[in-house]
Structures are given as structure tokens and as C-alpha cells.
Structure 1
Amino acid sequence: MTVRRSLQTDGKFRALVENTPDTVVVADDSNKIIFSNNKIFSTFGYQPEEVLNQPLTLLLPPAYRDIYEVEFSRFIKNYKNRGYNPISEVPGCCKDGSIFPAEISLSVWHEENHMFSSVIIRDVSERKKYEENLESEREFLKGILDSAEDIIIGCDENGVVNFHNESARTKQLISSFKSSHLNSPEKWLKAERIYQPDGITLLRLEELPLYRALKGENVKNQELIIRLANNRNYLLIANGRQIVCKEGIVKGAVIVLHDITTLRENTNSIIEKNQQLLQTFNDLKDAERKLIEANNLLELRVNKRTQELTAKNQKLNYYNEALQKANIDLDNFIHIASHDLKVPIVNMEALLKILHQVVSNESEDALDIIDKLEISVGRMKKSIQAISEVAKVQKQIEYQSEIVDLTELLVEITESIAEQIKAENVQLEYDFSEVPAIRFSYINLKSILYNLITNAIKYKAPDRDPHIIISTHVQPDGFILHVRDNGLGIDLEKNGAKLFTMFSRLHDHVEGSGIGLYIIKRIIENADGTIEVSSQLGVGSTFTVCLKD
């Protein structure tokens, strides 16, 4: 086509379009691109030859192409009568699919009985960013001014009020909130009733702080009163100045009004209260004198009381030392007694066995007496052993802590009472998934678990097999050990207070020394732990042991 060749070869035309900062494309009457300058590469990423014979809408995002195909055709059709405005802003689509804002300018001409359209495309991304930043800064500045408690009012160089912050609107200091009503300084006086600090004398135009600032005065701490339509007065302090741009041109003025109404209203009250405070001060001085006298008297009494308490404390320390010595003597006595009694008990057991062999089987009464003696000796032996155990706990013997695997410990305990577990058909469950191992005294932890498990078996319910569930749980400063059974249960209201006391037994149908729970409680408390029990008669009991890491 002649037009296409002329566009490609016309030196003046190419010099013109290649030196423009915008992308220039020319399309024929079917909206096919027949020419593009080299700027299309930096704008869209296409080489000029890549877009030749491509539809003009190639430069638009796919979603917009059908719409703008119609728009372009409508513009070309109506270009003569200007009955349709050309599209001024469209999204551009690069070769890589990225989209940017663009402005286009369309023109149409006829040549060789064909219609051609030229499109000048400008990437306005940077301008958009600048406009967005400018708008963001404007909103930020407006937010700062609106957040100010002081009233801020501004006008342009002609005296038209064109800005007032939220505080001015809240206090209703701008008539009808419309700056169009305040389009000249002369109307300021009509819009607002502005007075001297006396509240009687109206301010003249040249005395208004905004007018003074507009005329170039530096307004400093000018007091005035504004009276609203509801006759409410605001006592304000005004500061303001002229707004001048870098070129020295006056752009307007701004004033800041600080509300001192409440402060001034309270002045008389403050003076009166100062007088009251002075009287109160005098009263306090008199009260202070009396207080000093009372304090001196109190100090004498305190010194006397302190001397009495010191004497009592010394006596208490004496008794405490004596008690500690007595406890040591008692522990030594228990240890010696339990040790010295073991030999006679062993001898008595041996003598009873010999006596049992010597006495004829025909002497039933004698054999019965021997059996009862053996039972009594066995009980005495257990009591001596229990006293020895209590003595160890009382001395708070500390065993070395170590990492104890709970599963291995439980296996060791169950193996030691395997016959008892089998005989009573005990069902034992455990879950150590949360705390599989802990740092504690192996001997002490074994004693705790052993006593709780054997107690659960001994005090089983007569109508069901023992079912014991043992579990561990993590807590913020340590762990919790739960031992739950389905045994007889405990009447805590009746027996809760004596449950952990020494030699306390709640049931007589099974043998026991009554010191098991006492011992484990002492072990747990010596380790800064706690033990609690919840129980229901006929249902079972749950012992909860809390130990620290």
C-alpha cells in the first residue's frame, strides 16, 4: 500500500515520530497496525516489525480488547462531527503480559479512499505514582490536622476560606461548614460573631487574626471570643501567619486557635481552691503537730513492745533449739530401738518355730496360742519396720536425682507384685506419652508408685476386678502423675483430714501399717511437690501428684 510505504520511507515523518517520547502507531480502516515508531519497544516490549498487520487492540489487555474494538470503531465513525469523545486513558498491555496505565490520543484522516487512524500512546505510570503519592501525602497531612485538638482554619490569597480541620467542624466554628459562604474577608464578620476578650466589643475586620495573617502580620497569642448561634462562647488564643510559596507569591494564610474556655472558666475556681488549700495546709500543719506527738507516744509503745517481742523471740529460739535436740534424740532413739528390737524379734520367731515343732499336734490349745504369738510377732516386726521407715522420712534423707524411665520403673514394680496382680486379676493401664521420663530420686519415686498401686489393689471393690490407670501430664513448672482406681472409694468429708496422717487406717478388712500415704506425702512435700485426692464411695479414687522439674 502506498501509504504504508510512505510512512516507512518519509524521512521527515520518521524523524518526527522517532524523536517523540511517546509511542506512535498508525492503523488502517480495519484497525490493523501499518506503522509503529521504535518507542513501542521501550513501552510495550515489541519490535516495530512484530506489531505490523496486528490488530490495534494487541496493545490492550485481553479482557479489554473486544470492548475497545467497538470503542475505536465508534470513534472513527463519528470523528467528523465530534459527537463522540475519544478515549483518553486506557490500560496498556506489554508483550510480557504486564499492564500499565496509558493515555492515548486518536486522530483520523483519509487518503487514497481509505481511512487511517493515528494513535499516540503515553505511559503515565510514573505520573500515576506521583499523583497517588501526592494524594497519600495530602490525606496524611489532612489526617494530622484533623487529629489536632486545636482549631485550624486556612484561606487562599483572595480570602476564601478553603480549609478547616475536624476540630473546627466539631466546635461549629465554620458557618454551615461551607467555605463558599466565606468567600471574602468581609463576609467573615457576618458569618461569625467575633469579640474582644471582654465578650462585648466586636472585632473589626482588620483585627481578625486570619485577616491580619493574610495581610502579612505574624499573629501571636491574640485572645478573642467567638459566640455561636446558640450563644455559646469560645475563648480562644490565635496564632497565624501568611503562606508564601518558594517563588515569594502569597498563597493564603492559616491560623491556629487554641481553646482556653475551660481554663479561663476554671481560673476563679482555682483561686478559690488555692485559698481552701491554704486553709487546709494550716489545718494539716496543726494535725502534723498532733501527729508528731502521737507518733512519739506510739514510738515509746513500739520500743516497749519490741523489747517484749525480742525477749519472747529469744525464748522461742531456746525452745526451738531444745525441740530440735529432742527431735534428734527421738530419731536416734527410734533408730536404736528399731535396731535393738530386731534381734529379739528374730529370736522370738526362731523360738516360736522350735516351740511349734516341739509341742505335740494333739495339744490344740497350745498350737493355737503359738499361732497367735506368731501373728503378734509378725505385726510387731512390721510395726518396727514402719517406725524405721518413718524415721528415714523424718530425717528427710535426700537420695540423688536421676533420669527415671517411668515405663521401666512400672515394669519393675509390677514384677515385684506379680503374684498379687495375678491373684486379684488386676487390669493395669498406663500412658506416659506426655512425660515418658523425669528427673527424680529413683527410690522415692518407686516408693510413691508402689504405695499407690498396692493400695489400689488392697482396697479394691468386692464386686469387681481392680482397674488401675496411671498417666502423666505436663504442666508449666513440672509434671502431674495421676493414679486412678475403681476401688472402694473414700468418704473425704469424714476421713479426708486424717487420710495422710501417720498410722491412720480407714479399713480393717486388710492388713496394713497405716504409714504408706504418710510416707509418700512427706517424700512429695520434701521435693516441694503436692499430692491431692478426689474420691467417691463405691466408684473409686484418683491420686494426683504434682512434682517440679
Structure 2
Amino acid sequence: MSGPEKRALPALDLRLTQENLEDLYEYAPCGYCSCLPDGTLVKLNQTLLSWLGYTREELVANQCLQHLLVMGGRLHYETHCAPLLLLQNHVREISYTLRRKDGSTLPVLMNAVLLRDTDGQPLVVRVTLFDITERRKYEQELIRAKAQAEERREQLARANEQLTLQNGQLTRINAELDSFVYTASHDLRQPIDNMVGLFAELQRSATFHDPEAASMMGMFEEALQQILSTIAGLTEVVQQQRQLEQVPLEMVELQPFTEEIIRSLQPQISDQEATFELDFSAVPTLRLARPSLHSMLYNLLSNALKYAQPGRKPHVSISTARQEGLAVLSVQDNGRGIDLSRHRRELFQLFRRFHPEVVGLGMGLYLVNRLVHQAGGRVEVDSTVGQGTTFRIYLPMVA
């Protein structure tokens, strides 16, 4: 090596060349011992003696290597290790546990070589032992962590199985409830229609002299109409749910789709001089069943007109945004608002109404929430009484 490639080596301390080989053996960072083919110890280094707590005299020619092992290791040495040494003259990385003089144990990794005399007869076994206490702790920690992970995995599997079972039960219960509601509303319709007919005939043919009769008849007629509306609403909810389950998903362009819904509300819009503001630039399309999206938007927009603040022209903003991988469809109005401190928990319940002075059945928000959940999303609401309400529909984005 010459020129720029030549590197100066550090100066060598000559004392290092004079190291005592006996010291290298005695105080090596591993245990050394030599024994006869039957295991009788003939030589041990000081490191191994320090590990074991014995004096050299207690072991040399008085103990066998295998007798320093715990019972399981002793059996393994005699039935596996010793025969293997005779067969191939060496063994590599066999894990054993030494028994110290005080009864404590020390995990070690053993390498051994069998030397033979000139006639090929076994002469001596040279053994190297490495302290693997820290390695054993690490292995035990890994085993413990694996066992804990396996236990958690089994717990999670059981929880998932239970959740799947519960979801199946809920799906079945919902289907049964839908069938019950549909059947009940269908079966009730006929007797209620009969009552309406009988009441009409009663009004036509009967004469009442009580001055209170007219008001009572009016109240009875109103009650009949309310029952009919409720039955019709229940039937509509179940029918629409069943129909939507069969409708395929498609990419819907929000701008023309929303404009079409607004046109269908034109009579109300004209009467109230309502204005609309559309901004779908962030998310121009959504992948949904078209009837589901139509029902969501129609209910929210018609509610924005229905619950307008008296004396104020309705203004409705419909927009989209992206948030944490979700599409957010927002409908904001400047209407009467909802007292969420009182009604938040019942906001999406069937037949719940928060402005009794406005005609309605209390089905719109229930249906919106149900359709959104069916599409894998959620609905959030902000509202201030007298100022307006904002509905935000969070839906999965299409890749």
C-alpha cells in the first residue's frame, strides 16, 4: 500500500506480546475443563471454579463433568452427548444447567472436542462452557411475551367470535322487528280504514244535540288521521329499507343530483324565497345507492325549509370536505335550530319531534341516520336554537 491508501497502524504495546498463556487459560471469559472419556475431571480453569464455588482439589479426579449438571442434563449427557462425541469427535452449542456447590444453578452453552491417541482410542475431552444467564433471561422473557401475545390473541378471537354472534343476533332481531312492524302496520290498516268509513257514515247520517259533539267529532277525526299517518310512516320505513338492500352502489355526481332534489322542492322554495349554496369541489362524487343518497338529502333539505325561522328567509348550504380519510357531506341551515342539551339523545329516534307547532311525523332524521349507518358512516349535528343547524354525514372514501 502506498500513497494516499497507506494508513499508519497504531503503536503496539510490546507488553501485550508477553501475555502469560496460563493466565489466558485460567481467567478466560469462559469456563474451560478437560475430562477423561468417562467424564472424570482432570483440569479446570479458574473461571469455571469461580462459577461453581468449588476448589480445584474438590473436583479434579474426584468428580465427573456430568455430575456437575442437574439431573435432566446428566441424563442427556450420558445418553446423547457422550455417544455423539464418540461418533463424531465433537458437539456444538448444547444447552445445560450447572449445579453450583451452594445448590444454585447456572445456565451454560457447551462445546466439546474429543481427542484420540495415536491408536485412535479416546484420550481426553476438552470442554468450553459459556455463561448464558442473560440469554436465558431474554429467552424466558420472549417465551413469556409470546405466551401473553397468544393469550391476548385467543381473547381477541373469542371476543370477535362473540361480537360476530351478537351482530348476527342483532341482524336477525332487526329483520324480525322490521317484519313485525310491516305486518302489524299492514294488519292494522284494514280495521283503521273501517273505522274511518264508519266515522264518515256516522258524520253523514247521525244527528248530535250536544253542543260539544262537533269539537269531539273533530278531535276523533284528527286522532284517526294521526293513526293512519303513523301506520303509513312505519310501512314506508320498512319498505324503503327492504328496497334499498337490493339497490347496487354507484358513483353519484353530487352537483346535478342535488340540483334535481332542489327542483323537486321548488313550490316550497318559491313560497319561502329560500336560497341554496352548493360547493362539492372537495368531494364531487360519492359511491352510494342512489335512492339512499336521495332520501338522505331530500329529508335534510325539506326539513331545512319546513323548520325555517319565522320572519327569516331560509338559506341552505350544501358542501363536501375531506377529513381523516372520510368524505364529509354537510347541510347547514339558518332555521329554528334544536336544543341539543335536551334532545341530543333522542335526535334520531323514530317519531321524535322537537317543534310540535310544525306538522310532521318525526321520521326524517330517523331514516337519514339509519341510511347513513347502513352505508358505513355516521351523522354528527351542531345546532343553536334560533340560529340554525348543521348536519355532517361522514362516509367512507372511494379509493
> Partners of 2:160 and 2:373 in 1: how far apart?
28
Say whether residues 1:391 and 2:238 are aligned partners. Answer: yes
Indicate whether 1:514 and 2:264 are aligned.
Answer: no
Q: What residue in structure 1 maps to residue 191 of structure 2?
A: 344
Q: Normalising to structure 2: TM-score of the pair?
A: 0.55
Equivalent position to 2:295, from 429, 447, 454? 447
Contact 2:252–2:288 (8 Å) recurs in 1: yes
Query: Aligned partners of 1:479 and 1:500: how far apart in 2?
Result: 21
Q: Write the letter of the residue equivalent to 2:231.
A: I
- Correspondence for 2:175: 328
Q: 1:456 aligns with which of 286, 290, 304?
A: 304
**Does the CA-based 8 Å contact 1:426-1:457 persist in structure 2?**
no
Amino acid at match of 2:179: N
**2:378 is the alignment partner of 1:530:** yes
Give SS of 1:486's match. Answer: coil
For 1:6, the equivalent position in structure 2 comes to: none
Q: Which amino acid aligns with 2:189?
A: K
**Identity among equivalent pairs (%):** 31
1:543 aligns with 2:293: no
Stretch of structure 1 that moved more, 356-365 or 527-536: 356-365
Return closer, same or farther for 1:348/1:530 CA change in 2, 3 Å cut-off.
Answer: same
Return closer, same or farther for 1:281/1:466 CA change in 2, 3 Å cut-off.
farther
- How far did 1:410 drift? 4.3
* Residues 1:284 and 2:134 aligned together: yes
In the TM superposition, residue 451 of structure 1 has moved relative to its aligned partner by: 0.9
Q: Post-superposition shift, 1:373?
A: 1.8
Rounded Cα–Cα distance in structure 2 between residues aligned with 1:312 and 1:464: 53
**RMSD between superposed Cα atoms in Å:** 4.6
Unaligned segments of structure 1, at least 5 residues: 1-219, 221-239, 242-253
The match for 1:431 is 278
Deviation of the 1:540 alpha carbon? 1.3
- How far 1:332 moved relative to its partner? 1.8
Do the aligned partners of 2:255 and 2:280 also contact (CA within 8 Å) in 1? no
Q: Which runs of 5+ in 2 are unaligned?
A: 17-23, 31-46, 52-129
Question: Does the Cα contact within 8 Å between 1:359 and 1:366 map onto a contact in 2?
Answer: no
1:467 equivalent to 2:217? Answer no
Match in the other structure for 2:200: 353
Partner of 2:337: 489
Compared CA separation, residues 403 and 319, structure 1 to 2 (3 A) = closer
- Corresponding letter in the other structure for 1:257: R
User: Quick one: distance in 1 between partners of 2:249 and 2:167?
Assistant: 31
TM-score (norm 1): 0.42
Structure 1 counterpart of 2:7:
257
Q: Distance between the aligned counterparts of 1:433 and 1:326, measured in 2?
A: 38
- Cα distance in 1 for partners of 2:389, 2:157 equals 49
- Aligned with 2:190: secondary structure? helix
> 2:350·2:366 contact (CA, 8 Å) conserved in 1?
yes
What CA distance in whole angstroms lies between the structure 2 residues aligned with 1:380 and 1:310? 48
Q: How many residues align?
A: 284
Q: For residues 353 and 440 of structure 1, do their structure 2 counterparts lie closer, same or farther at Cα, with a shift above 3 Å needed? A: same
1:448 to partner: Cα distance: 1.1
Q: Aligned runs of 1:27-426 on 2, under 5 Å?
A: 240-241=2-3, 254=4, 256-257=6-7, 281-284=131-134, 287=137, 324-360=171-207, 364-392=211-239, 397-402=245-250, 404=252, 406=254, 409-410=257-258, 412-414=260-262, 416-423=264-271, 425-426=272-273
Contact 1:426 1:468 in 2 (8 A): no
Question: In 2, are the aligned partners of 1:393 and 1:522 still within 8 Å (CA)?
Answer: no
Larger radius of gyration: 1
Higher relative contact order (CA 8 A, sep 6+): 2
